[in-house]
Amino acid sequence: MSTSPMENELFDQFLNFPDIDAKVRLDSLIGLDDHKMRLTKILGLLVNPEGLKAWAKKHHPNSDKVINIVLRRPPLIVLAGDVGSGKTELAETIGDAVARQEDINIMLFPLSLSTRGQGRVGEMTQLLTAAFDYTISEAKKLNSSSSNARGAIILLVDEADAIAQSREESQMHHEDRAGVNAFIRGIDRIGNGQLPAAVIMCTNRLDSLDPAVKRRAADILTFERPNEVQRHAVLDGPLKELGFSETQIDDIVSATGSQNGSGYGFTFSDLIQRLIPAIVLDAYPTDKVNPTRALEIVQSIHPTSPFQDGKK
């Protein structure tokens, strides 16, 4: 490649926070409150350390060593877990909560999967390096040595195992190894520069990520399929609006769990994107939603199968 890649080659659509649409999407992620709170706090510290310093000055004025340890964590968070568990949706919208908490503007840079390139020698390395160059350049514009950052950037890497696969894999191509090296260098550059930026990685295959990448994670949040309490939290509001009784809601919740020895139940996306619309569309446009019929619909839907990485 003779010229530097353009922004539209490196990233999908940029998102700016705070944003009301993102807030609605984030609020709709019912059952993930602990993950929301934890991720918001971690990102807040990574992109705006002055907030932690102000907290320490008020509550623990002699805690310089502790605060330094917390702030020296690498600017990387890994979201790992099953398909349909809300990882990507949370990663795409959490910037709104961070922006409101820290009272700063935040921009999301979603790294395009095209950064893997077409397999030409050096291409993926150049694309990844260019993506970090752009991210770092924009973050430097927001940096402030004397006060809160004027803004911050979150670099989102979805399907991260496509880029940061372990270099220990014997079949790994040299070009892929070089790409992982470029990715690690990018993380280190952001951290060493103490920039108002952080990286979120989403993966279905945590074990496949390079160990050096996982070591650099300030935190790894694990996502699983919703348990009974979480499924009830997701379904309770919508089904009550449709006139379901508590008992009828409990029957639906139970039916969305593991059935027939499968070992897995509905994902969050199965509940929100498939089940609830299916119940509504079955009655639309002439009939009222019938709870008995809704239970039949639940039993006819097969939950999304767990991700299989093909490893023996």
Work out whether strand 76-81 and strand 15-17 pair parallel, antiparallel, or are unpaired: unpaired
Whole-structure pTM over 0.95, yes or no? no
Residue 45, SS3 per DSSP? helix
Render each residue's pLDDT in the chain as its tens digit; 312 residues: 446 667 777 898 899 999 999 999 999 888 899 999 999 999 998 888 888 888 999 999 999 999 999 888 889 999 999 888 899 999 999 999 999 998 999 999 999 876 555 555 467 788 889 999 999 999 999 877 666 668 999 999 998 877 776 555 545 555 567 888 889 999 999 999 889 999 999 998 888 888 889 999 999 999 999 999 999 999 999 999 999 999 999 999 999 998 767 789 999 999 999 999 999 999 999 999 999 999 999 999 999 988 765 544
Peptide bond into 277 cis (omega under 30): no
pLDDT score, position 170: 47
Dmax of the chain from CA atoms? 68
* Calpha distance 92→87 (Å, rounded): 9
Residue 115 contacts residue 131 (beta carbons within 8 Å): yes
Residue 135 contacts residue 155 (beta carbons within 8 Å): yes
Q: What is the DSSP letter of 227?
A: -
* Calpha distance 88→203 (Å, rounded): 9
| Domains of the chain, first to last | 7-223 (3.40.50.300), 228-300 (no CATH)
Report the phi/psi class of residue 186: left, alpha or beta, with left for phi > 0 and alpha for psi in -120 to 50.
alpha
Q: Residue 70 is which amino acid?
A: V
